[in-house]
């Protein structure tokens, strides 16, 4: 009976395998690229003990509505044009945490910075959604 179901709905199982593969691939790709994820609960410790710099890659409007204290706002589409603003942190090898709404844009931004040889890169896992879900402080 299961074999008949699988045979009749092979495309569903192919899609399931593809989705599982993509879900498994992302953490592997992050580790191999040197970009680490940090949870919303771990980020304050990274900020306080390692003096991590927060780079918010959301657009200006979203940033003004709410952001993590002391975050630097550089929208993702302007990141390459504003590398000079981050240069002093590259030289000091300061931990840099990229933040967006859900985590996807931050990963793209971290990849851009990795290509420019910025060390010690992190992304906020779940982005500002996760930060706010944990009721952590934001500035408005």
pLDDT band with cut points at 50, 70 and 90 for residue 28: low
Rounded Cα–Cα distance for residues 66 and 15 (Å): 37
Number of folded domains in the chain? 2
pLDDT band with cut points at 50, 70 and 90 for residue 25: low
Proportion of the chain above pLDDT 70, given as a percent: 93
The H or E element containing residue 7 is helix 2-8
Q: Is residue 140 part of a domain?
A: no
Q: What is the pTM of this model?
A: 0.78
More confident of the two residues 25 and 105? 105
Q: Based on the domain organization, do 57 and 106 belong to the same domain?
A: yes
Q: Based on the domain organization, do 63 and 119 belong to the same domain?
A: yes
pLDDT band with cut points at 50, 70 and 90 for residue 29: low
Q: Is residue 84 part of a domain?
A: yes
Q: Based on the domain organization, do 83 and 70 belong to the same domain?
A: yes
Structural domain of residue 24, as residue ranges? 1-33
Q: Based on the domain organization, do 62 and 118 belong to the same domain?
A: yes
Q: Based on the domain organization, do 117 and 72 belong to the same domain?
A: yes
Q: Based on the domain organization, do 48 and 111 belong to the same domain?
A: yes
């Amino acid at each position: 009976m299961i074999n008949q179901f699988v045979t009749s709905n092979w495309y569903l199982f192919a899609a399931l395998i593809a989705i599982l593969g993509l879900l498994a691939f992302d953490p592997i790709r992050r580790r191999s690229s040197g970009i680490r994820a940090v949870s919303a609960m771990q980020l304050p410790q990274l900020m306080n003990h390692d003096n991590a710099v927060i780079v918010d890659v959301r657009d200006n409007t979203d940033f003004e509505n709410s952001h993590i204290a002391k975050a630097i706002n550089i929208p993702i589409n302007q990141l390459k044009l504003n590398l000079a603003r981050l240069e002093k942190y590259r030289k000091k090898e300061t931990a840099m945490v990229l933040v967006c709404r859900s985590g996807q844009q931050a990963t793209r931004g971290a990849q851009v910075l990795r290509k420019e040889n910025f060390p010690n890169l992190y992304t906020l896992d779940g982005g500002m959604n996760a930060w706010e879900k944990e009721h952590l402080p934001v500035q408005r």
